[in-house]
Structure formats: C-alpha cells, structure tokens
Amino acid sequence: MQTAPWHVRLTGLVLAFAAKLLSGASARWRHCQPDSCQRIYFANHTSHLDALVIWSALPRAMRSLVRPVAAADYWASSSIKRYAASSFNAMLIDRKDVKVHRNPINVMLEQMGDTYSIIVFPEGGRSLDGQMQKFKSGLYHLGKKRPDIELVPVYIDNVNRVLPRGEFLPVPLLSSITFGEPIWLENGESKNDFLNRAHQAVLSLKDR
Amino acid sequence: MNWLLDTLSLSSGMLAEGPTVSVVELMSLNNATHILLGSVLALLVAVFLAGKFLKHQSEGIVNASIVISFNQRIRAWLLLSAILVAGAILGRGYTVVLFGFISFWALREFITMTPTRRGDHRALFWVFFLLTPLQYILVGLGQDFYGLYSILIPVYGSLLISARIALAGDYKRFLERTAKIQVGLLITVYSLSFAPALLDLKLYTTEMLAAPLEEQVVWNSVQGTGATFGLLFYFVLLVQIGDIFQFVWDKILGRRIIAVNINASKTWEGFFGAMITAMLVGALLSWFTPFNWWQAPCIALVTAVMGFTGSMTMSAIKRDRGVNDYGTLVQGHAGILDRLDSICFAAPVFFHITRYFFTSVL
C-alpha cells in the first residue's frame, strides 16, 4: 500500500470536511459495522458528489483503504478534477473505451488487490429524477470473481438535491448515507436474480 | 449535535484571537446579568440532575417516556443557554454570528423536509448563500439598518424567490413551491434574527421616556454594558418557561385537547397554566429589564402566547409532511427547528413591543 504525498492527503481531509459540512451527511450503519476488511460497497447514483460523500462518511481510518470507482470521462477531464479525485482515493475507470483485454472489471479487481475496498455505482450513470435505474451486470461479475468479499449495499438519500445533475452550485441540504447488511452471490444464482436482489437490498434501506 | 461542536470550536477560535477583549467584555457585564445567568444555569443544572435521578427510578413512580421527553427539552435548553452565555462573553457581533449559524441550520432542516423540484435549485442557492447571510450582516450592523433588515426578506426576498423560480422555467405548482421557500425563510431566518437584534436597542424605562428630552438617560448606560444581553436572556427564558410549563401542566391538569390533529398533547388547561406561569416568572424577573411590575407580565403573556402559536404552527407543517420531528428525516432525533419553533415566532413580536414602547423611536 503506497502512501500519497502530504498535500494530497491534506486535500483529501479538506474535501471530506467540506463534503460533510455541505451535505450534512450522517452515516448510519444497519446490520453492518465499519471494518477495514475488503469489501465492495454498491450504491445508488444521483450526483457527482456521491463518490466523495460516501467516502467522507466512512471513519477516517478506513478512508485510505477504500477507493470510490469514478468515471474517468468526468474526473480526468481537467487537471484540477484529476487532483481532487486522487485526493479522495478515487479509482478512475474509463466507461467509453472498453476493450476485451482492458475490461473495467478486471482493471478494478487488479487495482483492488487484496487490500483495497471499492465503492461502485452499478446503475452506471446518474438518474435524472432520483429514481433508481436497473443495475448493470458489473456487480455480478465482481461478485463471481471475488466470492470471498462482502458486498455491502449503500443508500444515498438527498444528495441529488444538494447537487442535481446539470447543476454546479450546491445547496446545503441534509443528506444521509445508510450502510446495510452485506450480501453474497449465492451458489448457482442467475445474473438477473442476483442483480434484482442487490437492487432490492439498496432500495430496502430507503424506507426506515 | 455536531453543529454545536462546530460552532463551539469556532467560537473558541475567536476567543483565542482576542482573549483580552473577551475578558474585558466579561468583566463589564453588569451584576444583574451575572446573577441572572448564574441562577438560571444553576437552576438548569439542578433540573437536569433531577431528570437524571428520575430516569433511574422504578417504572411505577413516573412514566419513563415523559421523563425522556422532559430530559430532551432540558438538554436543548441547556445548550441554548450555553450559546447565550458564550455570546454574552464574546460580545454582540459574535452572538449575531452564532444566531446566524443556528438560522442556517434550521433553514436546512426546513427545506430538507419540504419537497422541492429541480427548478427550485438556483432559488434555494440564493436563499442559503445570499439572503440568510445578508439578513444577519444587516442585523449585525445595528439599528441604523433597521429599515432595511425589517423588509429585506418579506419584500425583496419574496420577489427574488418567485422571480428566480419563474426564470428556471418550471411552472408546476408554482405558487405552492414559492410559498414553501418563502415561509421557511421567513420563520427560520427573518423571525429568528430579531432575537439578536434586541442587543442593539437603546432602551428607556417609561419614566425615563416621560422625562424632558434633554434630561433623558439611556437605561443601558445606567445598567452597564451587558444590559441588553440580560434582555435577550429574559426573552429566551420566557419562551422556554412557556414551552416547559405547557408540557408540565398538560401532564398534570390536561383534559381538553386544543386541536387533536395538530398536537394530541396540548390542552387548554396546559395553555392557561403555562401563560400564568410565564406571567409570574416575567414579573419576578422584571428587575433586570426596563419593564415595570405590570408591564413585565403583560409582555410575558404576549411572548408566551406567540411561543405557543409558533409550536402549533410548526406542528401543523410537520403533520402535513407526515413526520414527528424536523430532525427525523435525516438525523433520527429531534432537530434544532423542533426546539426553536416557539422562539422564532415570539422574537419579532417581543422585539417590536420593546422597540415601540421602550426606545425613543416614537
């Protein structure tokens, strides 16, 4: 595990603080505790801030071990964004340029190694109206290739109102991040069944 | 309670910058204010300990849920008192800033709970980052800006909000959406800002005002610099007494419920009990206000009635949204707005009564 330069870590701390202040995010752990073991967190996707907000909601000791997966076409589009992304430990994945030998799933698994946890957004993109879309199959392949890892559902509430799609000025409303009970890919479970179950696991955290 | 830690660490940072100033401020608070602050804090700590003691009693003696609810109120009251004491030590400017942060957070809770549409986003941005700070800056600049801060939000704010939402191009439920944001801003920011605005009043007792103009002395200067802090504390205390005793008398005497769909525990017996208690306390503590023996209970009555209407109004909004507390949606416990609703409603009325009858503006 390599350590980032001090200014990158400092920027990360500042960003996490700002994100917490701005989104008023409170983290809730339900049937799941913060742990440094390897995990895949999967969440609904509503705003560019999502990756940063979830990462900030984690306890500080865990942050260096958790890497939010973010879209390279957005976060690598300028040097400032690229720097910001590196400060919150983001793993930039190209959504557009997918090749057989550089399949995003393999890239993620490779970069995870046996130390890092990742945060993924299986919807693939942000929804316009805050409603959850169907999950893409990436989560299934991750679960299949790493059956030893806990898959933790995460529900992000209200961040889409803090910074909706297409806006650049945030409004400081109060949002919340709920971490739910881990799931695994069952033996012989079909792709559709699993994706539906994962979708339900996130959705069930909505109604408390 | 993270916000409190934030504000407290912020204020301690300010303290570190100018320790000499704050010590001077502290020393110059007059004796009456010292005695008031001391005795109220002592009383609160005593009640707090009593609550802790009750909590460990067996089920039969007292109802556990009542004790929990009572303890929550007392804890909120202690926090508010701590903020006021910190403000009194740090000075008027810092108190205005502290109230500004409280307003900001209350507005956050209000808007979070109220559904808004995408088209409201830009309007909300201006509400949070222009109107709210501007209102408190004007209040901080003092009485010279009374003319502007008393119309900024109800007039210009309302115009700005409706215009910005119209420009965003979404006409669905337009009136409802503008009204929601306007009401939220009016209650959590505009109304509450009249509490710290009290600090800049030049007060006179009615006898002082009756004296010929050239012989008039300002009550503040007779009392010492902390005098207006005493008045602010008096105001907050009256509202809280109204709140707490409404709760206590409801539990002891409550029979006839006022509006069962709004709040199933508030009764007429509790209402009158609370009003009488507030009047008694108001009269008893009148010696550190410019009010005399009969003015104080009248003002206390109006303040307590306003506080009551405030918590009823906010309950109505909460019932409509189907939540119990403004905090529940996100934090899972009562929020700031749940504790401040009565103060928000009472502040402008208390301010204007004081300004109209006890300053030389007329």
The pLDDT of residue A207 is above 70: no
Q: What percent of chain B has pLDDT over 70?
A: 82
- Residues of B numbered 331-350 whose beta carbons fall under 8 angstroms of chain A's beta carbons: which are they? 331-332
Asked if B163 and B178 touch (Cβ cutoff 8 Å), the reply is no
Interface probe with A: pick from B107, B121, B188, B324, most Cβ of A within 10 Å: B121
Residue-wise pLDDT for B40-71, tens only, equals 777 777 777 777 776 666 555 566 677 777 77
Residues B303 and B275: their CA atoms lie apart, in Å, by 9
C-beta atoms surrounding B50 within 10 Å: 14
Q: What is the pLDDT of residue B4?
A: 40
pLDDT of residue B124: 95
Closest CA to B191 of B297, B309, B92: B309
The reply to whether ipTM tops 0.90 is no
Q: What is the pLDDT of residue B5?
A: 40
The residues near B198 (Cβ < 8 Å, ≥ 6 apart) are: B228, B231, B232, B235, B350, B351, B354
Average pLDDT, chain A: 86
Q: Is A86 within a domain?
A: yes
Test A169 with B331 for CB contact under 8 angstroms. Answer: no
In a domain, A208, yes or no: no
Could you tell me if B121 lies within 8 Å of chain A, comparing CB atoms? yes
Over residues B69-88, the pLDDT tens digits come to 777 777 777 778 888 888 88
pLDDT of residue B29: 57
- Residue A8 lies inside a defined structural domain of this protein: no
Asked whether the beta carbons of B139 and B193 are under 8 A apart, the reply is: yes
Structural domain includes residue A41? yes
Q: Is B329 on the interface with A (CB under 8 A)?
A: yes
pLDDT at res. B17 = 39
Number of folded domains in chain A? 1
User: Contacts of residue A172 in chain B, CB cutoff 8 Å?
Assistant: 104, 108, 128
Q: Of the ranges A22-31, A41-50, B125-134, which one carries the lowest mean pLDDT score?
A: A22-31
* CB nearest A171 (choices: B109, B121, B329): B121
Using pLDDT thresholds of 50, 70 and 90, give the confidence band for residue A130.
low
Q: What is the DSSP string of A129-142?
A: SS---PPPTHHHHH
CB B39 within 8 A of CB B281: no
Domain membership flag for residue A4: no
Q: What are the start-end ranges of the H helices in chain B?
A: 2-17, 19-28, 31-55, 64-90, 92-113, 121-126, 132-141, 146-149, 158-167, 174-185, 192-197, 206-210, 219-223, 227-253, 268-284, 295-321, 336-358
The pLDDT of residue A102: 72
Q: Is the pLDDT of residue B8 over 70?
A: no
Q: Is the CB of residue B322 less than 8 Å away from at least one CB of chain A? A: no
Assigned token pair, A195: 């994706």
**For position B328, what pLDDT does the model report?**
55
pLDDT digits (tens, 9 = 90+) for B301-331: 999 999 999 999 998 988 888 776 665 554 5
Q: What is the CATH number of the domain that holds A149?
A: 3.40.1130.10
Find, among B120, B128, B118, B125, the residue nearest to B185 by Cα: B128
Residues of A in contact with B4 (CB under 8 A): none
Higher pLDDT pick, B113 / B333: B113
CB A112 within 8 A of CB A118: yes
In a domain, A16, yes or no: no
Task: Mark yes or no for CB contact A26/B330 under 8 Å.
Answer: yes
Cβ A164–B330 below 8 Å, yes or no?
A: no
Contact residues, chain A to chain B, C-beta under 8 Å: 21, 24, 26, 28, 157-158, 161, 164, 167, 169-176
Question: Maximum CA pair distance of chain A?
Answer: 47
Q: What CA–CA distance (Å, rounded) separates B314 from B317?
A: 5
Over residues B198-215, mean pLDDT: 84
> Cβ contact (<8 Å) for B330 and A175?
yes
Position A9 in a domain: no
| Residue-level pLDDT at B18 | 39
CB B47 within 8 A of CB B72: no
Q: Which range of residues forms the domain containing residue A40?
A: 25-203
- Please name which of B230, B238, B304 lies closest in space to residue B271, comparing C-alpha atoms: B304
Residues of chain B in contact with residue A26, where contact means CB-CB under 8 angstroms, are 330-332
Residue A39: beta bridge partners? A150
- Cβ-defined contact of A173 to B331 (cutoff 8 Å): no
Nearest Cα of chain B lies from the Cα of A157 at a distance, in angstroms, of 9
User: Each residue of B219-233: pLDDT tens digit?
Assistant: 877 777 678 888 998
Q: How confident is the model over B238-244, as a mean pLDDT? A: 90
Specify if A172 maps to a domain: yes
pLDDT over 60 at B90, yes or no:
yes
